């Protein structure tokens, strides 16, 4: 296989995705008209959700390929803005779309640590890791470690150690998409899980990173439109301006009044593990604007640092480091990704504030026996429970149990927007969850196939290279579906644990491998192993109190793992054998941002050697 040098991106991409956006907007407008003409809600929901799914599959099959470089790196010609859009979709996912926004509803200011960490983590990744991974040209993160240290063992080790974080995120995203699909389509949750699994497996198998990139770009467009349109409409209704990120502050005073009437008073911070809301409905007990009322400053900072380092070292994001045409293009794609994530991070608080204001205003004006219709609809979908426990004829905040993952869907309902806006939000959530799930699936299965199984058959004599990946994708997807059909996970807890695993396991090893010439194979393996061991210790002894004050939590274990990994990596590198001359030469070439990737250079040398030997 020859490298795809000088290949340019399709100049018509803007027109193609402009057509995608126009087609989706036309679908929304058409369904809004049909709703006014009397279409049933079930028909509206099915059309809004199923038509985009057909579009995603069509784009994926249109981008099918059997070329290895296209399959693993999308031909290395993805424009920065598209790669940035996919990066943001993978990072936010359905977990952020529903879970982060719902967490903001309950924690207010205290939940900003999550959105700030995602944005900062992308910037840290763009500065410390991504340009050098692009220069390496490795298809996977474990592949980079293998090339950097000329070692198959560290490559296989890194591939195995990335299974926990990526698998957790994969399961969380599949669950989100399945839950929303089962809520609006005539499917049981189990059938929805397997429908999602088949969908993401089909998208990734037909074209790998190439089909994944272009279908995820369409999914990003759908999710952006679906999130922004209802939010902007509500902002215009409440503030008269279509800029919710800048104007929702005008609602703080009426929001505080509504919270006071509902019985919400300032609270004292508790432990991080219990402060974060779960998917089970719970009352809102903290004022939206109160700082450090749910978690204290220490927990806020540790959560921020854990998610920042985890984002910077997340394998599913770093796997996209090789899809652009150059190091400079890859830097720009990270900048675009950080911009999109930051835009979501500052928009989600506005959505949460609007929902809380509308919800408590309606409660204050209603009797317990005459709740608004939108509240009854949320109750019917098991996203909200209200009971007049003290029999005073009114519903207080403590008597209103709200599901965290239903906050996004509650916005158009609480604002009494047409039903099409509610299913538009649902379609947006499914879209971004599918984009993230497919990316995690390809990262996991592609690495297992290329970094572990290929070690058994390096010359692809038993099975063709792509066939091994297809089998790995199908097996991984089926395993995830069976797991979710038999067991359950809490999406935000799974997400935080995944970022913690990524931070503890990969951040120290990447930092040393990229920025320290003396780092050896032994040092990198110790950095990986000690960080991962810290997370295993948290699983075994999580919640234990050390020294009477320090509590061993997930985020604490991640930060401890980062420190231990750095120390172990330095000691192992200094006391163990020195890096080989080939590894040191690779490091020196890695520092040069110009020219072709090291992988492409190696391919050309191998091709020249083969030609001269004939």
Q: Where are the alpha helices (DSSP H) in 240-385?
A: 244-247, 252-261, 272-275, 297-312, 315-318, 327-364, 373-380
* pLDDT value for 601: 81
Rounded to an integer, what distance in angstroms lies between the CA atom of residue 390 and that of residue 120?
Answer: 46
Q: Is 310 contained in some domain?
A: yes
* pLDDT value for 612: 72
Q: What is the mean pLDDT of the chain?
A: 91
pLDDT one-digit tens code per residue, 63-77: 999 998 899 999 899
- Residue 373 — very low, low, confident or very high, per pLDDT cuts 50/70/90? confident
Q: Is 586 contained in some domain?
A: no
- Nearest Cα to 378, choosing from 393, 364, 392, 363? 363
* Cα 457 off chain centre by: 33
pLDDT one-digit tens code per residue, 509-555: 999 999 999 999 999 999 999 999 999 998 888 655 555 455 668 99
Q: Is 171 contained in some domain?
A: yes
Mention every residue, 6+ apart, whose C-beta is less than 8 A from residue 190: 485
* φ and ψ of 15, to 5 deg: -65, -40
Parent domain of 484 = 14-491
Question: What is the pLDDT averaged over residues 136-156?
Answer: 93
Rounded to an integer, what distance in angstroms lies between the CA atom of residue 77 and that of residue 518?
Answer: 33
Query: Is the pLDDT reported for residue 342 higher than 80?
Result: yes
* pLDDT value for 465: 80
Residue with the larger pLDDT of the pair 113 and 593:
113
Q: Is 7 contained in some domain?
A: no
- Count: domains in the chain: 1
* φ and ψ of 284, to 5 deg: -85, 115
CATH number of the CATH domain containing 367? 1.20.1730
* pLDDT value for 425: 97
Quick one: tokens of 490? 């809490």
What pTM, to 2 d.p., does this model score?
0.95
Q: Is 37 contained in some domain?
A: yes
* Cα 12 off chain centre by: 28
Contact 219, 435 (CB under 8 A): yes
pLDDT one-digit tens code per residue, 455-469: 766 666 556 788 889
pLDDT one-digit tens code per residue, 297-314: 999 999 999 999 999 999
Rounded to an integer, what distance in angstroms lies between the CA atom of residue 386 and that of residue 397?
Answer: 9
* pLDDT value for 134: 94
- Residue 614 — very low, low, confident or very high, per pLDDT cuts 50/70/90? low
* pLDDT value for 4: 43
Q: How many CB atoms lie within 10 A of CB 29?
A: 11
- Nearest Cα to 528, choosing from 590, 488, 572? 572
Quick one: tokens of 165? 């974080």
- Nearest Cα to 257, choosing from 294, 287, 293, 234? 287
DSSP 577: P
pLDDT one-digit tens code per residue, 3-52: 444 567 778 899 999 999 999 999 999 999 999 999 999 999 999 999 99
Mention every residue, 6+ apart, whose C-beta is less than 8 A from residue 206: 60, 61, 63, 64
Query: Tokens 């010439």 label which residue?
Result: 517
* pLDDT value for 2: 39
* pLDDT value for 459: 66
Rounded to an integer, what distance in angstroms lies between the CA atom of residue 406 and that of residue 400?
Answer: 13
Question: What is the pLDDT averaged over residues 286-307?
Answer: 94
Q: Is 86 contained in some domain?
A: yes
Rounded to an integer, what distance in angstroms lies between the CA atom of residue 384 and that of residue 404?
Answer: 9
pLDDT one-digit tens code per residue, 414-452: 999 999 999 999 999 999 999 999 999 999 999 988 888
Rounded to an integer, what distance in angstroms lies between the CA atom of residue 350 and that of residue 532?
Answer: 37
Q: Is 583 contained in some domain?
A: no
Which residues, in sequence order, are bridge partners of residue 91?
A: none
- Nearest Cα to 307, choosing from 160, 567, 103? 103
Contact 211, 64 (CB under 8 A): yes
Which residues, in sequence order, are bridge partners of residue 545?
A: 551
Contact 226, 425 (CB under 8 A): yes
Name the helix (H) or strand (E) containing 217: helix 189-239
- Nearest Cα to 27, choosing from 435, 434, 429, 427? 427
Distance spanning both ends of the chain, measured CA to CA: 17
Rounded to an integer, what distance in angstroms lies between the CA atom of residue 75 and that of residue 111?
Answer: 39
Percent of the chain whose predicted confidence (pLDDT) is above 70: 95
* pLDDT value for 460: 61
pLDDT one-digit tens code per residue, 375-416: 888 888 888 888 877 777 778 888 899 999 999 999 999 999
Contact 324, 78 (CB under 8 A): yes
Q: Is 265 contained in some domain?
A: yes
Percent of the chain whose predicted confidence (pLDDT) is above 90: 76
Quick one: tokens of 451? 């970094």
Query: Is the pLDDT reported for residue 613 higher than 80?
Result: no
pLDDT one-digit tens code per residue, 184-231: 999 999 999 999 999 999 999 999 999 999 999 999 999 999 999 999
Write out the DSSP string of 25-55: HHHHHHHHHHHHTT--HHHHHHHHHHHHHHH
* pLDDT value for 543: 59
């Amino acid at each position: 296989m020859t490298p795809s040098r000088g290949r340019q991106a399709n100049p018509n991409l803007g027109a193609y995705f402009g057509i995608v956006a126009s087609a989706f907007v036309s679908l929304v407008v058409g369904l809004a008209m049909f709703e006014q003409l009397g279409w049933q809600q079930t028909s509206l929901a099915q059309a809004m959700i199923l038509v985009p799914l057909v579009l995603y599959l069509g784009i994926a099959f249109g981008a099918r390929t059997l070329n290895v470089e296209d399959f693993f790196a999308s031909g290395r010609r993805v424009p920065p803005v598209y790669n940035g859009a996919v990066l943001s979709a993978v990072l936010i996912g359905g977990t952020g779309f529903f879970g982060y926004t719902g967490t903001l509803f309950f924690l207010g200011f205290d939940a900003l640590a999550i959105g700030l960490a995602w944005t900062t983590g992308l910037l840290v990744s763009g500065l410390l890791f991504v340009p050098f991974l692009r220069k390496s040209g490795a298809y996977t993160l474990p592949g980079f470690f293998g090339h950097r240290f000329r070692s198959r063992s560290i490559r296989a080790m890194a591939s195995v150690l990335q299974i926990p974080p990526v698998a957790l995120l994969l399961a969380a995203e599949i669950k989100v998409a399945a839950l929303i699909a089962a809520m609006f389509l005539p499917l049981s949750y189990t059938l929805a899980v397997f429908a999602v699994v088949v969908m993401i497996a089909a998208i990734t198998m037909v074209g790998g990173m190439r089909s994944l990139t272009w279908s995820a770009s369409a999914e990003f467009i759908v999710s952006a439109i679906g999130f922004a349109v209802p939010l902007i409409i509500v902002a215009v209704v409440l503030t008269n301006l279509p800029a919710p990120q800048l104007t929702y502050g005008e609602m703080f005073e009426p929001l505080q009044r509504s919270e006071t009437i509902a019985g919400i008073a300032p609270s004292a911070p508790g432990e991080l593990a219990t402060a974060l809301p779960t998917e089970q409905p719970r009352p809102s007990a903290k004022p939206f604007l109160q700082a450090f009322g749910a978690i204290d400053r220490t927990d806020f900072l540790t959560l921020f640092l854990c998610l920042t380092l985890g984002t910077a070292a997340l394998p599913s994001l770093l796997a996209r480091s090789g899809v652009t045409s150059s190091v400079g293009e890859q830097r720009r794609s990270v900048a675009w990704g950080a911009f999109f994530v930051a835009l979501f991070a500052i928009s989600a608080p506005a959505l949460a504030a609007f929902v809380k204001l509308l919800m408590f205003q309606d409660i204050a004006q209603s009797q317990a026996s005459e709740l608004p219709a939108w509240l009854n609809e949320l109750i019917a979908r098991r996203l909200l429970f209200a009971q007049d426990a003290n029999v005073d004829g009114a519903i207080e905040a403590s008597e209103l149990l709200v599901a965290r993952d239903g906050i996004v869907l509650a916005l158009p309902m609480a604002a009494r927007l047409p039903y099409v806006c509610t299913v538009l939000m649902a379609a947006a959530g499914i879209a971004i969850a599918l984009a993230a799930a497919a990316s995690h699936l390809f990262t996991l299965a592609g690495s297992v196939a290329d970094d572990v199984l290929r070690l058994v058959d390096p010359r692809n004599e038993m099975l063709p290279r792509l066939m091994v990946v297809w089998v790995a994708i199908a097996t991984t997807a089926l395993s995830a579906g069976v797991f979710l059909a038999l067991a359950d996970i809490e999406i935000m807890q799974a997400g935080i644990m995944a970022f913690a695993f990524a931070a503890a396991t990969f951040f120290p090893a990447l930092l040393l491998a990229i920025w320290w010439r003396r780092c050896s194979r032994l040092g990198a393996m110790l950095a990986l192993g000690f960080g991962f061991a810290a997370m295993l210790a948290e699983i075994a002894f999580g919640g234990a109190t050390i020294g009477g004050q320090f509590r061993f939590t997930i985020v604490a274990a991640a930060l401890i793992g980062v420190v231990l990994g750095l120390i172990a990596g330095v000691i192992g590198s200094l006391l163990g054998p020195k890096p080989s001359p080939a590894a040191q030469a690779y490091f020196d070439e890695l520092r040069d941002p110009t020219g072709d990737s090291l992988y492409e250079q190696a391919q050309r040398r191998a091709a020249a050697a083969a030609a001269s030997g004939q």
